Amino acid sequence: MPRSPRQSGLELLRIVSMLMVLTVHIDGASLGLPQPSGDCGSLTSRHLWRLAVESFAIIGVNCFTMISGYFGIRLRLRSMLLFLGECLFYSVGIYLLFVATGLRHFSWDGFADSLMVLSHSDLWYVPAYFGLCLLAPFINAGCEAMSRRRLVVVTGVFVLFNVWCGWWWNGQFNPTGYTVIQLVLVYMLGRVVSRFISVGIHIGLKGAFVAGGCYVIATAGIFVTSLYMPSVKAFAYNSPLVIVATVAFFVLFLGVRFKSRIVNYLALSAFAVYLVHKNPLIWGNYMQPWVIRTWESTTLLQFSLYAIAFMGIIYLSVAIVDVLRRGLFDCMVDMADKIRLKIQGD
């Protein structure tokens, strides 16, 4: 009898989180954000719309990481090799595709850069997440050894430390959240939530209202702070309002109870969407120029519709390619297992 698919609430969140990352890259990363610094009268409706969009979508990276924290990363050689293999597949593959189509001349330096995904990548999340994976056994052991109360206290102090010393006072260890320390922080929040709330739990209408309300209020707060603070601080991943919005949004999806093989399958390609669209060759040559041209030549409504369609096309296109990549990796793993068993048998 076939096994029923697992609860899909957090798998849906994985997809939504990556679409939020895409949204932020289309908005602030491509166009730059308005810097009103309190001069709200200088803002047009287009400026206000972009700040509002950035406010609701900025939690994408945190939510994506929090899923790992909730389930817990189990450090294994195979999983680490598969992670690096996925990064290499898209980094090297995109580089060679550009060379093969004549869009870029081959150079050994360029090829070497595409291989060094942990040290020569513009994708900050790749080495940061790899570092989190290496630290995960220690974090897991510490969290499991503590009582729920002690875990909440330790995590709360760690959050306050990051907010006060990192975000507020620009501590170099985590000034805006683009660091492995930020991933550790969000991972620990995921571990805390996992001790209190089970996936697919029925949080009820009241619980959904509280979680949704907290997210809306925190998002509104992010928007207001963006009118008076530099955007790099208002939209920092370790901003207290961004952290609150992250946890509230995450809890909201924990209560989403349904099973969907399609959602679970599409969620497998979420990280690949990041690796592809933010690859420097695609980002710098195609995606960012397209966003700028479209923004300058369309109305706000047209741009929003084009952006939504663009994100859907990117996600589905990458998902199709990723099916082939996973099939190739599965064949390689099966072959490696057969070789290992043969060696052990001999």
Cα distances from 158 to residues 117, 133, 169, 186, 222, in angstroms, run 29, 19, 15, 10, 21
**pLDDT at residue 252, as a whole number:** 93
Would you call 316 helix, strand, or coil by DSSP? helix
**pLDDT at residue 6, as a whole number:** 66
In a domain? residue 287: yes
Cα distances from 53 to residues 44, 152, 210, 258, 314, in angstroms, run 14, 31, 22, 28, 19
**pLDDT at residue 247, as a whole number:** 97
DSSP category for residue 164: I
Q: Count the domains in the chain.
A: 1
Q: Each residue's pLDDT tens digit in the chain (346 positions)?
A: 344 456 799 999 999 999 999 999 999 999 999 999 888 888 999 999 999 999 999 999 999 999 999 999 999 999 999 999 999 999 999 999 999 999 999 999 999 999 999 999 889 999 999 999 999 999 999 999 999 999 999 999 999 999 999 999 999 999 999 999 999 999 999 999 999 988 767 777 788 899 999 999 999 999 999 999 999 999 999 999 999 999 999 999 998 888 999 999 999 999 999 999 999 999 999 999 999 999 999 999 999 999 999 999 999 999 999 999 999 988 887 787 777 776 776 6
In a domain? residue 263: yes
In a domain? residue 3: no
Cα four-point dihedral sign 294, 297, 303, 308: negative
Print the domain residue range for 187: 9-345
Cα distances from 272 to residues 78, 172, 241, in angstroms, run 18, 29, 28
> Using an 8 Å Cβ cutoff, are 89 and 325 in contact?
yes
> Using an 8 Å Cβ cutoff, are 231 and 28 in contact?
yes
**pLDDT at residue 5, as a whole number:** 52
Place of tokens 């959904």: 208
Angle at 70 between CA 177 and CA 130, to 5 degrees: 50
Alpha-carbon distance of 3 to 73, in angstroms, equals 23
In a domain? residue 256: yes
In a domain? residue 318: yes
Cα distances from 192 to residues 145, 181, 185, 254, in angstroms, run 13, 17, 11, 13
**pLDDT at residue 275, as a whole number:** 98
In a domain? residue 264: yes
**pLDDT at residue 53, as a whole number:** 97
| Spatial CB neighbours of 282, under 8 Å, sequence gap ≥ 6 | 94, 276
In a domain? residue 4: no
In a domain? residue 1: no
Chain centroid to CA 129: how far? 10
**pLDDT at residue 4, as a whole number:** 44
DSSP category for residue 257: -
Q: Taking the C-alpha atoms of 111, 116, 121 and 125 in order, what is their torsion angle to the nearest 10 degrees? A: 140
Helix axes 77-100, 125-145, angle to 10 degrees: 170
